[in-house]
């Protein structure tokens, strides 16, 4: 059987992509074959599509770090033909062919069955970014959040948007930090009660501690923003470090940890264990408002993928972008 896929090739360290017609014999090893319905665009996909960070070592390559779809063949007793499944992480789309294709073959251990209430489109409107937001929210809740608002940085992006909405749905007051003043109405509509200009937090901190402004933080930006936020956390509260859209450095002091008992929690959605993943999907199903999820999502076809890579790296993509691989 033939299927369409975004195929990346590399020549002289320059990565280029085309939509190619492949057949099943070219699919990688795996015990479950999935007819892919949707995939998404994430920051890491932007890096892979443009060759930034050299995350892909073997070409030709099919990118797409997550997908939802329907099992079409399975040698894994846990999955049968017709099961609706979602896959995020496990370095699929990076070291294994991913979701920017009408068909994928993977290891059954990497899949999660979709909860009944989530459509395949819902699942990818959430995608890796949404799963990461949920893992981050759970992590800061496990440590106990303070009474001040919860800050989300990189709020207009994928991880940030779902985090703002999830926190608001869970009943928290949410402050959204963005570099896009024009995104204020959007952020308010998905649950933010306060908008913080990105530049306020992007400056390196002026001292080891500042006034206690935040009861928790989900940070997608890193670098000076993260260093700055650490000095403004309430006593005993937590920062979930999810991303590095602003850079991967961290120049801080031990003072917020020693004098305010601040917790810095690392979030990794790629290798997180199956049970944690499954629980996170069930809670996403319970908490998310489907109307708002639709409002924060743009659906595009496979042919748009190549142009979107540079856009997401430039911080120009708002909310979630879903790829309808059948169009």
Instruction: Please report, as ranges, the residues that interact with ligand NDP according to CB under 6 A.
Output: 42-44, 128-129, 132, 154-160, 178-180, 183, 198, 220-221, 242-246, 267-270, 312, 315, 317
Helix (H) or strand (E) run with residue 38 in it: strand 32-41
| CB nearer ligand NDP, residue 224 or residue 237 | 224
Sort strands 238-241 and 216-219 into parallel, antiparallel or unpaired.
Answer: parallel
* Cα distances (angstroms) measured from residue 136 to each of 32, 57, 296: 29, 29, 19
Cβ-based nearer residue to ligand NDP, 62 or 226: 226
Measured CA to CA, the distance from residue 105 to residue 285 in angstroms comes to 26
Report the distance separating Cα 143 and Cα 170, nearest Å.
16
Question: Least distance (Å) from ligand NDP to the CB of residue 173?
Answer: 18
CB-closest chain residue to ligand NDP: 157
Q: Shortest gap between Cβ of 50 and ligand NDP (angstroms)?
A: 13
CB of 242 to ligand NDP, least distance (A): 5
Q: How many distinct helices (H) and strands (E) make up the chain?
A: 10, 15
Least distance (Å) between residue 30 CB and ligand NDP: 22
Sequence length of the chain is 327
| Closer by beta carbon to ligand NDP, 27 or else 179 | 179
Distance in Å, CB of 248 to ligand NDP, minimum: 9
H helix runs in 175-319, sequence order: 184-189, 198-202, 223-230, 255-260, 274-287, 290-295, 305-313
Residue 248 CB coordination number (10 Å)? 9
């Amino acid at each position: 059987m033939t299927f369409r896929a975004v195929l990346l090739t590399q020549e002289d360290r320059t990565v280029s992509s085309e939509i190619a017609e492949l057949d099943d014999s070219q699919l990688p090893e795996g015990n479950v074959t999935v007819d892919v319905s949707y995939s998404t665009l994430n920051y890491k996909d932007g890096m892979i599509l443009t060759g930034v960070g050299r995350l892909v070592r073997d070409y030709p390559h099919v990118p797409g770090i997550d997908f939802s779809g329907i099992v079409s063949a399975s040698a894994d007793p846990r999955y049968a033909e017709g099961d609706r499944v979602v896959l995020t992480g496990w370095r699929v789309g990076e070291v294994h062919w991913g979701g920017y294709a009408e068909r994928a073959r993977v290891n059954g251990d990497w899949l999660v069955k979709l909860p009944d209430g989530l459509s395949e489109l819902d699942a990818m409107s959430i995608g890796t970014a949404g799963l990461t937001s949920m893992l981050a929210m759970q992590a800061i809740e496990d440590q106990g959040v303070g009474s001040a608002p919860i800050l989300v940085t990189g709020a207009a992006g994928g991880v940030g948007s779902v985090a703002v909405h999830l926190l608001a749905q869970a009943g928290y007051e949410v402050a959204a930090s963005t570099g896009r003043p024009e995104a204020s109405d959007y952020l308010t509509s998905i649950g933010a009660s306060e908008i913080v200009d990105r530049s306020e937090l992007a400056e390196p901190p002026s001292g080891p501690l500042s006034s206690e402004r935040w009861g928790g933080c989900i940070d997608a930006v890193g670098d000076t923003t993260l260093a700055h936020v650490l000095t403004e956390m309430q006593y005993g509260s937590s920062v979930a470090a999810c991303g590095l859209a602003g850079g991967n450095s961290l120049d801080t002091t031990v003072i917020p940890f020693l004098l305010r008992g601040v917790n810095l929690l690392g979030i990794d959605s790629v290798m997180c264990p199956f049970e944690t993943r499954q629980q996170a999907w069930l809670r996403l199903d319970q908490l998310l408002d489907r109307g708002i999820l639709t409002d924060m999502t743009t659906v595009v076809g496979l042919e748009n993928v190549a142009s979107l890579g540079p856009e997401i790296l430039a911080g120009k993509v708002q909310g979630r972008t879903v790829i309808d691989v059948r169009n």
